[in-house]
Structure formats: structure tokens, C-alpha cells
Structure 1
């Protein structure tokens, strides 16, 4: 009888040991802060323990542009644009709750209001009243949601492969990447909080972009390490379950701010056809689609993206100064 139960017991013990010893541990916050901040990094502190990592760079006398990153990213995704536009514009980038060095939202609120509390905090910290607002993917959704609620504060919108529009008739759900497919299932969310292989992060990145050269060792390390910042993996699962308030897509036509819509034609996370939906539903748009580019045009095609943003804002600012808008 004893032998009968010994083998299963050993198997359970071995499985439990493997579960403990093979887990991917959280990163050390102090080490991450030392590695992923620079001389422009600041932390804005708000209610409920909210502590937002942001950078205020570029021309202090230039038109301010606030940029919001996408899901699982951080303010670092905007570095190529800061480098190219910083001579003329003031660039404020921030890491949203549940990401990067900002870490989880103490209230576990990853709704639009919960996420945009970080934007309001940084705007107050930097003295911004009115600004150009841009975002990629989830950050694009947050940008146009903010413009609906605060039309007096948004001078212009920059939407880069922005989330929030419904699929067009006849379209199937996009294939997504490995990370998002795992988050779609309870077991996947459970496992991702404990097992986060670097190889899985790299594969998710490669499935998200068309220009594979941007998936460098340094970039993969950054995504992998910041995802493992304490609390961020749990936040990723909570964020995935947050309802994106689809009813607001019906109201997007209320936005009067001039809007530049940039998209990668090879985006596998949000189809480029969504750019057409934005254009159809909004009042004052300019749409540009980049062939050979995926979900991250600001990283995959930074020269073209920066040039198109600059040209658009030049037209917008001239028109506003002349009173033609």
C-alpha cells in the first residue's frame, strides 16, 4: 500500500518543487530605476500611492506634446520621436499605471479614468493647461477618450495605431501576439504572473512589428524586465479584463480637435482598416498608412513618423494662428 502511494506523492512533490524553482521572479525596483531612468526622469506622486514615471524633454519653449504608450510598453517607446522632434517641441512622455517604473495602480483601476489619472497628475506637475496629445494602441484609445472629456485642453490629437474602434463588417478578430493570447484565458493569466520566459516576450514583440530589426537584445530585456517590475504582471491580467467602454466609439465624432491618424499597414494587433473607421467618424482628420510597418510606427519608421507629425502640427498651428480652424 505504501509503495502504491509513494510514486504519486513523489510526483506531486517534484511538481511543486518545479513550480517554485522555475518561477520567473520579479525584478528589483531599485535596480530597474537605476537602469531605466535618465537625467530627464521624474516621478509625480498622487493619491492612493500613485507614483508616475515621466520625462519632460525637448524645447522648453516649444508647443507641448504629451505621448501615451500602448499595452505592456513604457515611455521608452517614444525615445525615437523625442530625439527627432525635441529640437522644436516640448515632449512629455509618461509611463501609465501597471507598466514600467510607474508600477501597479493601488486601486487596481485600469479603466480610462484610472489610467488617465496619471496624465492629469503629470499635466499638473508640469504646469500644462493645453497641449497636443498623442498615443499608440491603448494610449491612442486613452488619448481620444481624454479629448472627449476635456476638449478645452487638447489642441490636436495624434493617433498611432490607436485602439477603440469596432471591427468593420466582415472582419474577424486579429490574430494578436503570444502575450495577448495568453492573457485572454484565465489559465494564461495565472501562469503569466509566475512564469514569464524572456523568449515569450521576444516572440510577442516579433509578432507585433513588421520591421524586425527593432527587436534588439536591449529592447527585449527592457520589456521583459519592466513587465516583471513588482505588480505589473498582475496588472496586465487585470487590465486585459477591463471593459474598454465601446459606447464611447459612437461619440468620437464630437471631437473637434484636428487629428492625425498614422497606421502601419501590416499591423496584426489592430487592423489598418480601423484608420478608415476613425476617419469616417471624426470631423477633422488626416490619415497616413505606412506600408511595411506594423503596430509601432514611432519605432519602426521614426523618420517618417516624426516628419509627418511635424508637418501636420505646422499646418495646424498656422491655421489656428490665422483663425481658419
Structure 2
């Protein structure tokens, strides 16, 4: 009976891209075709460019507060990664770090960007440092915000376990209750009082974008082989000046990962934000931006 009630209350149909555009695209939104996808991105401001890459199940909107501050002195480019936001699924369902890094290069080539600062959060941080390792001549400075790419030595978050579990992951295609989205947000925020209804609604609506639920399952199944020796060698090879911003209360990618990453990188600085979780740029934008601004102006 409980399961039936859950299914009834949590069942949601897919939301069309056109409907989502009405709420989550604006005058700065653009779309560019890459590998058959209509990639949603925004290009705002003037000055030396900075590229912002979001994490799993997020969208370019996670950088809203940083963008408002950055556009005073910089050109800010951010996009919805394949599988997320308005961009939606990759037709070949390849969500490996290699595929994402290649996608980022294709995107930046299409908009003719050759030199820039590069920032990424979580999955976006993993993509960012892999990109910096492969294209060191393009990245002037690297900013990693609670970045993935090293083993966490702890169980995966429940949402990833569910996406990998047969039957449960099939249910996820149709049953995506809003409270479940909120529950996951409470895991990534240190201060739960900052999780507003509008914020939960945005994450929920983006999850319901046509194709995004299946894409999330395909992405969760991807094995990034985090412990491979070649990955560590790639991380060690990065000479780009790097800022690591880490939330001390991050339960998904703990601070210990930030400390280890700082040791592997040869030209890095780690700044710990005591009152932040996994997404400091969204949870504590002012505090995290002050750290970023100091690094960019140094």
C-alpha cells in the first residue's frame, strides 16, 4: 500500500524542452549543435573569459551567483552538460570522462575560445582537471570546487546506488518524487535552511527533461576507474596554477579528497570553507567568490 501511494504521488511525466525553456532559458541563453545535441549555454560579460562546468544532476544555473559577480570584469561561459539541464542526453549514451572532456573541447572550439580560466564543480571539476591535463596551453588558471576524480573511500550516495540497481532504476524513469530531489539536496548542502522551494523545483524540473532520467541512469553506471595509475599521473602532470575550494562539510566528496588532490597537484592552493557542503558556489556564493576573486586577481 505504501509503495502504491509512493508511486501514485511520485509519478511524473517527462517535461518538454520547450516548456523548460519558458522557465529556465533567458535572453543570454543560446543553443549550439554538437554531436546531434542542442547544447544550452550562456555567454555573458566582457573581459578575459572564464568557463564554468557544473556537476552531476545540476545545470548551468548552479553558477548564477558567481556569474553575476564575474561578469563585471570577465566574459563568463557556462553550459548544460550532456545528460543534464536543457541539453539532455547524448545519443550514444557515452558519459565517460573521456567523452565529457572531448565534448568540452568541441564546445570551446565551436565558440572559438582559445585561452581562458576553467572552473568545475564535482563531475565538472573532474572534467576540468582532465581538460587542463590534455590542453595545458589553453587553461590559464584552474579552479576545482569539490572536484571528483579520486576514490572517496566511502559508499556512493543513495541516488547513485538506486540508479545502478535493476528494477529500482526502471522505476526511477517514471517515479521521481519531488521530496526525493529535496532529500538529495539536503545531503549536498551543509545548511538545509538555504534549500528553497524554487531551488528544489528547478532541480526537479531539470531531472524531468525528456531523456534526462534515462541519461542519469546511464551516467551512474559509468565506471570512471578512479584508482587507475594513469589517472593519478595525469593529475600530477598539471602545472597550471590551481585553486581548490572545498566545503568542510561535504559528505559526497569529503575534504580528505581535496587534501589528497592538493598533494598530487604541483602548483595548487587549497582553501577550506568551514560552513559549506558539496556546492559552495551555490550554497555560500559570497564567501566562495571572495576566494575565487583573490585567486584570479593574484
Provide TM-score, normalisation by structure 1. Answer: 0.85
Shift of 1:63: 1.4
Alpha-carbon separation, structure 1, partners of 2:246 and 2:58: 18
Deviations for 1:248-276, whole angstroms, at most 9, x for unmatched residues? 13321100100000000000100011111
2:154 maps to 173
Query: Whole-Å Cα distance in 2 between the matches of residues 161 and 21 of structure 1?
Result: 34
Instruction: Answer yes or no: is 1:225 the counterpart of 2:205.
Output: yes
Which residue is 1:68 aligned to?
53
Q: Within the alignment, does 1:136 sit opposite 2:131 as a pair?
A: no
Cα-Cα RMSD: 2.1
**Aligned partner of 1:114 among 99, 103, 106:** 99
Residue 122 of structure 1, CA deviation: 2.8
2:278 pairs with 271, 295, 313, which one? 295
Paired residue for 1:4?
Answer: none
User: 2:191 corresponds to which residue?
Assistant: 211
Take 2:233 and 2:223, find their aligned partners in 1: how far apart are those partners?
Answer: 15
Equivalent residue, structure 1, for 2:22: 34
Distance 2:109 2:30 in 1: 13
Q: Which moved more, 1:205-214 or 1:19-28?
A: 19-28
CA deviation profile, 1:212-240 (whole Å, cap 9, x unmatched)? 23311111111111101011000101101
How far does residue 19 in structure 1 lie from its aligned partner after superposition?
A: 6.9
What CA distance in whole angstroms lies between the structure 2 residues aligned with 1:22 and 1:197?
4
Computing the radius of gyration from Cα coordinates, the structure with the larger value is 1
Name 1:25's counterpart in structure 2: 13
Residues 181/209 of structure 1: CA separation in 2 closer, same or farther (3 Å cut): farther
Asked if the contact 2:120/2:145 (under 8 Å) is kept, the reply is yes
Q: Take 1:291 and 1:188, find their aligned partners in 2: how far apart are those partners?
A: 36
| 76 and 251 in structure 1: CA distance in 2 versus 1, 3 angstrom threshold | same
- Following superposition, the deviation at residue 86 of structure 1 comes to 1.3
Is the CA contact (8 Å cut-off) linking 2:132 and 2:139 kept in structure 1?
yes
Contact 1:70 1:136 in 2 (8 A): yes
- Where do 4+ consecutive residues of structure 1 move more than 4 Å? 18-22
Inter-partner Cα distance in structure 1 for 2:67 and 2:211: 28
In the alignment, structure 1 residue 156 sits paired with structure 2 residue 136: no
Q: Distance in 1 between matches of 2:111 and 2:246?
A: 29
TM-score (norm 2): 0.92
CA 1:30 to 1:156, structure 2 compared with 1: closer, same or farther past 3 Å? same
**Structure 2 counterparts to residues 1-325 of structure 1, below 5 A:** 23-47=11-35, 49-58=36-45, 60=46, 62-167=47-152, 172-174=153-155, 176=157, 178-246=158-226, 247=228, 248-315=231-298
- 5+ long unaligned stretches in structure 2: none
Residues 252, 117 of structure 1: alpha-carbon distance in 2 compared, 3 angstrom cutoff: closer
Distance 1:184 1:249 in 2: 26
In 1: Cα distance, 2:190 partner to 2:173 partner: 28
Structure 1's unaligned 5+ residue stretches are 1-10, 316-325
Distance 1:276 1:194, change over 3 A: same
Which whole-Å CA distance do the structure 1 matches of 2:68 and 2:10 have between them?
40
CA apart distance, 1:277: 0.5
Q: 1: CA distance between counterparts of 2:17 and 2:185?
A: 23
